[in-house]
C-alpha cells in the first residue's frame, strides 16, 4: 500500500508539473487563445499519454487499478472543467483558455485524489468477504449477453434515458435564470424564452422518463420469461440423482426468486447506474460552470460522508450478526426448555431456566442499545458535517455574490443541483453494492444452466419393431447417496417376451432398484442392461420410456383432467385410442359415470379419485403408449380380483414382456418365472411349483404370509 501511495504522489506531482509547464509556455508565448473546447480535450488526451507512460515506468509495466483510475480522473476533470467554463460564456465572447490560477491548479489533483480515496476506502467494505473480480466480471458479461435478443429495446430504453436525464438536468438551471429575470430588468421575449425552455425540459423529463421505465420493464419481462424457460429445461434434463441431492423447494426458489432477482438486479441497476452516472456528470459540468469554488466544497463533503457511512455500515454489520446469533440462542433456549418441560418440572428448575432466559434477553438488549448509540452518533456527525459544509458554502456564496461572480439565481440553481448530485452518487454506490451482492445468485443460476447431466447421453436407436427381450448382465449398483453400500451385486437375469417375470423379496432386497435401472433413472456402476441386445443408453430417450412403461403402486397424477393425465407426454394420442384402452381394462364404465367423463378434473395429486381409480388411470396411461415392456410395481394392489384379472389379461396381450414386483403371492403364482432376491442378490428362481418344492426362502415367505393372513 505504501508503494501505491508513493506512486500516486509522484503522479500528482508530475501532473502539476505538466499543467504548470503548459501555462508557463502560454504566458511566455503570450498566447491568448487555446482553441476553445477542442483544445481543452486535446490537452487532456496528450496529458493522458504522458501520465500513462510515466505510470508504466513507475510500476515497471504493472500499474494497480487505483493508479489507472487516478490517471483517468486527472485527465478527464481538466477538460470537463474547461468545457463548463466555455459553455458558460456568451457565444460571441472568445475563450482565452485556463488562467494560471493556483486554486485552479490544485482543484483537479485534490478532487481526483479524494475520488480515489473514496473508491478504495468507501467501497472496499470490511474486507472479510473478497469477491473474485474476474469471476464477477465474467458473470455480469454473461448476464448482459442474455439481453442480446432485446438489444433493440435496450438501445431505445437507453436513448430515452439519456434524453430524460438531459431534460431533467437543465430544469434547475432554467429555474435559476427565471429567478434572475424576475429580480431584474429583462425583455419580455427573454423571459418567455426561459419559461418556454423550462417547460420543454420539464415535459421532456416526464415523457422520456416514462418511456424509459416502460421499455426497461418490458425488456426485463422478456428476459425473465426466456431465462426461466432455459433454466427449467436444464433442470428437466438432469439425472434423478440431482433431484435427490437438491431440495425441490430450493430448486423452485432458484427458478422463480433467483431468476427474478438476477434479471431485476442487472437490468434495473444498469438503468439506475447509467442514469445516475450521466446525470451526475452533467450536473458536475453545470455546477462547475456556475461556481467551481462551491463545487469543490460539495466534492469535499461527499467523500467524507461516504467514508463515514462505510464505517457505520461495517460496525452495524458486525453488530447485527451478533444480534442474530443472540436471537438464535434465545430461540434455542426457549425451545429446549419447552420441549424438556417434564424434566424441568421434575428437577424444579423453573427459576433457573427463567434466570437463563432473562440473562440472554439482557445480552440482546445490550447489543440493541449499542446499535442505537451507533445510530445516534452517526446521525449527529453526519448532520454536523453537512451543516458545517453548508455554512462554508453560504459564506463563500456571499463573497461570490458581493463580488458579482455569482448571481442569486445561479446560487439557487446550484443548491437545487447539490442534493440530487449527492443522491446520484449514492445511487451509483448502491447499484455497485447490490450488483456485487447478487453475484452469488447469478453464479448459482448459471451453475444450473451449465450443468451437464451425469447420466450417459441418449442414443439414436428407435426401431419400428421391438421384441422386448431384457437382459441384466452382472449388474452392480449403489445409490449416489451411499456409494459404498451396493444394493445390487452382480445380478444377471433375462426377461423373455410374451412371459411374466416376478421379483419377490422382503423390503430392501433390491426389487425397486432393478425397476429404476430398467427405466434408466440411474446408471449401474458395473455391468449393463440390454434391450434386444442393445444397451439402454443406445436408445432415444422418448422412445425408451414409451416402449418401457411403469405402473407403480402409488401413481403420480397431476392437477388436470383425466384425459390430460392419460395422454401425459404424448402428442399423437387420439380420444378414440384413450377410450378403447379404458374399455379393455374395464375402466370406461366408472369414467362415464363422472360428470365430465374424460374431462373430469382429478384435483391436486389426483385427490378427487379413489386409490383404485388412480391405479386404473395409471394402467391406461401406460397401455395407451403401446409399450413392449411393462413393469407392474404393486400396480393392482388396490383393485378387486376381477379388475386385476382384466388388467393382467390386457398387459399380457400382444406378446409383451412383463415384470411384476409384488408382495401379494396370488399375483406372483401366475408368473412364468419367479426371482427371489435378498440383499441385492438372486437367491432362488424358477416357477411357483419349483420354488415351493425346494422349500427354500420363497417357501418360507409364503408360509409366513399365510400364517399372518390366517
CA distances 439 to 135, 271, 428, Å, are 9, 18, 17
The answer to whether residue 8 sits within a structural domain is yes
Q: Are residues 159 and 250 in the same domain?
A: yes
User: Rounded to 5 degrees, what are φ and ψ at 499?
Assistant: -130, 155
The full length of the chain comes to: 710
pTM of the model: 0.51
Q: What is the pLDDT of residue 451?
A: 75
Q: Are residues 431 and 397 in the same domain?
A: no
Contact yes or no for 376/316 (Cβ under 8 A): no
**Domain count of the fold of the chain:** 4
- Runs of H (alpha helix) within 340-349: 341-346
Q: What is the pLDDT of residues 669-708, one digit of tens each?
A: 778 888 888 888 888 888 888 888 888 888 887 777 655 4
Instruction: Report how far residue 565's alpha carbon sits from residue 574's, in angstroms, rounded to the nearest whole number.
Output: 13
Give the DSSP letter of residue 228. Answer: H
Task: Give the mean model confidence (pLDDT) for residues 68-86.
Answer: 70
Which CATH number does the domain housing residue 649 bear? 3.40.50.300
Contact yes or no for 256/472 (Cβ under 8 A): no
Q: Are residues 93 and 149 in the same domain?
A: no
Instruction: Report how far residue 275's alpha carbon sits from residue 278's, in angstroms, rounded to the nearest whole number.
Output: 5
Please return the burial class of 251, using the count of CB atoms within 10 Å of its CB with bins 0-12, 13-18 and 19+: middle
Q: What is the pLDDT of residues 271-292, one digit of tens each?
A: 777 777 777 777 777 777 777 7
Q: Are residues 310 and 325 in the same domain?
A: yes
Asked if residue 92 has pLDDT above 50, the reply is: no
Q: What is the pLDDT of residue 431?
A: 74
Q: Are residues 118 and 156 in the same domain?
A: no
CB atoms within 10 A of CB 523: 16
Please return the burial class of 567, using the count of CB atoms within 10 Å of its CB with bins 0-12, 13-18 and 19+: buried
Task: Give the mean model confidence (pLDDT) for residues 105-114.
Answer: 65
Q: What is the pLDDT of residues 679-689, one digit of tens each?
A: 888 888 888 88
The answer to whether residue 460 sits within a structural domain is no
Give the DSSP letter of residue 461. Answer: B
Q: Are residues 214 and 317 in the same domain?
A: no
The answer to whether residue 465 sits within a structural domain is no
The answer to whether residue 225 sits within a structural domain is yes
More reliable by pLDDT, 262 or 533: 533
Core vs surface per residue 375-389: b (16+ CB within 10 A) or e: eeebeeeeeeeeeeb
Q: Are residues 21 and 161 in the same domain?
A: no
Task: Give the mean model confidence (pLDDT) for residues 386-407.
Answer: 81
DSSP 539-574: B-HHHHHHHEEEEESS----SSBHHHHHTTT-SS--
Asked if residue 100 has pLDDT above 50, the reply is: no
Chain-centroid distance of CA 628 in Å reads: 44
- Domain with 72, as residue range(s), is 1-122
- Residues 35-40: contacts with CB under 8 Å, at least 24 apart: 35/97, 36/86, 36/95, 37/82, 37/83, 37/86, 39/97, 40/78, 40/79, 40/82, 40/83, 40/86, 40/97, 40/98
Q: Are residues 116 and 216 in the same domain?
A: no
The answer to whether residue 411 sits within a structural domain is no
- pLDDT, the chain, mean: 75
Show the CA angle centred on residue 642, arms to residues 640 and 647, nearest 5°: 95
Q: Are residues 562 and 698 in the same domain?
A: yes
State the angle between helix axes of 259-290 and 65-88 in degrees (0 to 180), rounded to the nearest 10.
50
The answer to whether residue 666 sits within a structural domain is yes
Task: Give the mean model confidence (pLDDT) for residues 598-618.
Answer: 77
More reliable by pLDDT, 491 or 459: 491
Task: Give the mean model confidence (pLDDT) for residues 335-343.
Answer: 85
The answer to whether residue 458 sits within a structural domain is no
Show the CA angle centred on residue 611, arms to residues 606 and 612, nearest 5°: 120
Q: Are residues 338 and 426 in the same domain?
A: no
Instruction: Report how far residue 694's alpha carbon sits from residue 701's, in angstroms, rounded to the nearest whole number.
Output: 13
Task: Give the mean model confidence (pLDDT) for residues 143-167.
Answer: 80
Q: Are residues 553 and 650 in the same domain?
A: yes
Q: What is the pLDDT of residue 114?
A: 64
More reliable by pLDDT, 129 or 288: 288
Instruction: Report how far residue 200's alpha carbon sits from residue 203's, in angstroms, rounded to the nearest whole number.
Output: 5
Q: What is the pLDDT of residues 372-388, one digit of tens each?
A: 888 888 888 888 887 88
Q: Are residues 83 and 2 in the same domain?
A: yes
More reliable by pLDDT, 586 or 476: 476
Instruction: Report how far residue 515's alpha carbon sits from residue 677's, in angstroms, rounded to the nearest whole number.
Output: 13
Task: Give the mean model confidence (pLDDT) for residues 1-28.
Answer: 67
Contact yes or no for 350/342 (Cβ under 8 A): no
Q: Which of 122, 144, 177 is the last residue of a domain?
A: 122
* Helix or strand run (H / E) with residue 175: helix 151-182
Closest CA to 396 of 382, 411, 386, 383: 411
The answer to whether residue 200 sits within a structural domain is yes
* Helix or strand run (H / E) with residue 642: helix 641-652
Q: What percent of the chain has pLDDT over 90?
A: 0
Q: What is the pLDDT of residue 420?
A: 78
Asked if residue 134 has pLDDT above 50, the reply is: no
User: Rounded to 5 degrees, what are φ and ψ at 318?
Assistant: -65, -40
Amino acid at each position: 500500500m505504501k508503494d501505491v501511495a508513493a506512486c500516486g504522489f509522484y503522479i500528482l506531482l508530475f501532473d502539476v508539473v505538466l499543467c504548470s509547464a503548459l501555462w508557463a509556455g502560454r504566458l511566455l508565448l503570450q498566447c491568448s487563445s487555446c482553441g476553445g473546447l477542442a483544445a481543452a480535450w486535446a490537452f487532456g488526451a496528450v496529458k493522458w499519454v504522458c501520465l500513462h507512460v510515466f505510470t508504466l515506468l513507475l510500476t515497471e509495466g504493472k500499474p494497480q487499478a487505483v493508479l489507472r483510475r487516478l490517471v483517468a480522473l486527472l485527465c478527464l476533470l481538466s477538460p470537463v472543467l474547461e468545457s463548463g467554463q466555455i459553455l458558460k460564456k456568451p457565444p460571441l465572447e472568445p475563450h482565452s483558455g485556463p488562467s494560471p490560477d493556483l486554486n485552479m491548479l490544485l482543484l483537479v489533483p485534490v478532487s481526483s485524489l479524494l475520488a480515489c480515496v473514496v473508491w478504495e476506502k468507501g467501497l472496499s467494505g470490511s474486507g472479510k468477504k473478497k469477491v473474485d473480480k474476474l469471476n464477477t466480471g465474467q458473470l455480469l458479461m454473461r448476464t448482459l449477453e442474455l439481453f442480446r435478443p432485446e438489444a433493440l429495446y435496450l438501445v431505445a430504453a437507453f436513448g430515452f434515458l439519456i434524453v430524460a436525464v438531459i431534460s431533467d438536468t437543465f430544469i434547475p438551471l432554467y429555474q435559476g435564470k427565471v429567478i434572475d429575470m424576475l429580480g431584474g430588468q429583462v425583455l419580455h421575449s427573454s423571459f418567455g424564452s426561459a419559461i418556454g425552455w423550462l417547460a420543454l425540459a420539464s415535459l421532456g423529463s416526464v415523457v422520456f422518463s416514462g418511456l424509459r421505465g416502460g421499455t426497461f420493464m418490458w425488456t426485463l419481462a422478456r428476459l425473465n420469461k426466456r431465462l426461466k424457460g432455459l433454466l427449467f429445461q436444464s433442470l428437466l434434463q438432469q439425472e434423478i440423482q440431482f433431484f435427490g441431492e437438491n431440495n425441490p423447494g430450493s430448486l423452485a426458489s432458484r427458478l422463480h426468486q433467483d431468476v427474478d432477482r438476477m434479471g431485476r438486479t442487472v437490468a434495473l441497476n444498469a438503468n439506475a447506474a447509467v442514469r445516475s452516472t450521466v446525470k451526475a456528470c452533467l450536473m458536475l459540468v453545470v455546477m462547475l460552470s456556475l461556481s467551481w469554488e462551491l463545487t469543490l466544497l460539495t466534492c469535499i463533503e461527499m467523500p467524507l460522508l461516504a467514508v463515514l457511512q462505510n464505517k457505520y455500515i461495517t460496525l452495524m454489520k458486525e453488530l447485527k450478526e451478533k444480534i442474530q446469533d443472540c436471537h438464535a440462542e434465545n430461540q434455542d433456549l426457549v425451545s429446549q426448555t419447552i420441549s424438556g418441560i417434564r424434566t424441568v418440572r421434575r428437577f424444579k428448575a423453573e427459576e433457573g431456566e427463567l434466570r437463563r432466559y432473562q440473562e440472554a434477553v439482557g445480552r440482546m438488549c445490550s447489543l440493541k442499545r449499542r446499535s442505537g448509540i451507533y445510530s445516534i452518533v452517526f446521525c449527529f456527525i453526519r448532520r454536523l458535517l453537512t451543516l458545517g459544509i453548508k455554512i462554508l458554502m453560504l459564506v463563500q456564496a456571499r463573497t461570490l455574490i458581493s463580488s458579482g461572480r455569482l448571481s442569486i439565481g445561479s446560487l439557487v440553481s446550484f443548491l437545487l443541483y447539490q442534493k440530487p448530485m449527492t443522491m446520484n452518487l449514492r445511487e451509483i454506490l448502491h447499484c455497485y453494492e447490490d450488483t456485487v451482492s447478487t453475484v452469488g445468485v447469478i453464479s448459482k443460476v448459471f451453475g444450473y444452466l451449465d450443468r451437464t447431466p451425469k447420466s450417459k447421453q441418449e442414443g439414436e436407436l428407435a426401431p419400428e419393431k421391438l421384441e422386448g427381450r431384457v437382459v441384466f448382465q452382472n449388474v452392480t449398483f449403489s445409490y449416489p447417496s451411499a456409494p459404498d453400500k451396493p444394493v445390487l451385486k452382480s445380478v444377471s437375469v433375462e426377461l423373455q417376451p410374451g412371459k411374466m417375470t416376478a421379483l419377490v423379496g422382503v423390503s430392501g432386497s433390491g426389487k425397486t432398484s432393478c425397476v429404476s435401472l430398467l427405466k434408466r433413472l440411474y446408471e449401474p456402476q458395473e455391468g449393463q442392461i440390454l434391450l434386444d441386445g442393445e444397451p439402454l443408453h443406445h436408445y432415444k430417450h422418448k422412445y425408451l420410456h414409451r416402449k418401457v412403461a411403469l405402473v407403480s403402486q402409488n401413481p403420480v397424477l397431476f392437477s388436470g383432467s383425466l384425459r390430460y393425465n392419460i395422454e401425459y407426454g404424448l402428442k399423437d394420442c387420439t380420444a378414440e385410442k384413450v377410450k378403447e384402452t379404458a374399455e379393455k381394462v374395464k375402466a370406461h364404465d366408472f369414467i362415464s359415470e363422472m360428470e365430465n367423463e374424460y374431462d373430469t378434473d382429478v384435483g391436486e395429486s389426483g385427490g378427487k379419485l379413489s386409490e383404485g381409480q388412480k391405479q386404473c388411470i395409471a394402467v391406461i396411461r401406460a397401455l395407451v403408449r403401446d409399450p413392449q415392456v411393462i413393469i407392474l410395481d404393486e400396480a393392482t394392489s388396490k383393485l378387486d380380483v376381477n379388475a386385476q384379472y382384466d388388467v393382467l389379461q390386457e398387459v399380457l396381450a400382444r406378446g409383451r414382456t412383463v415384470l411384476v414386483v409384488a408382495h401379494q403371492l396370488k399375483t406372483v403364482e401366475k408368473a412364468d418365472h419367479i426371482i427371489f432376491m435378498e440383499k441385492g442378490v438372486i437367491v432362488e428362481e424358477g416357477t411357483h411349483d419349483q420354488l415351493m418344492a425346494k422349500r427354500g426362502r420363497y417357501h418360507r415367505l409364503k408360509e409366513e404370509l399365510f400364517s399372518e393372513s390366517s
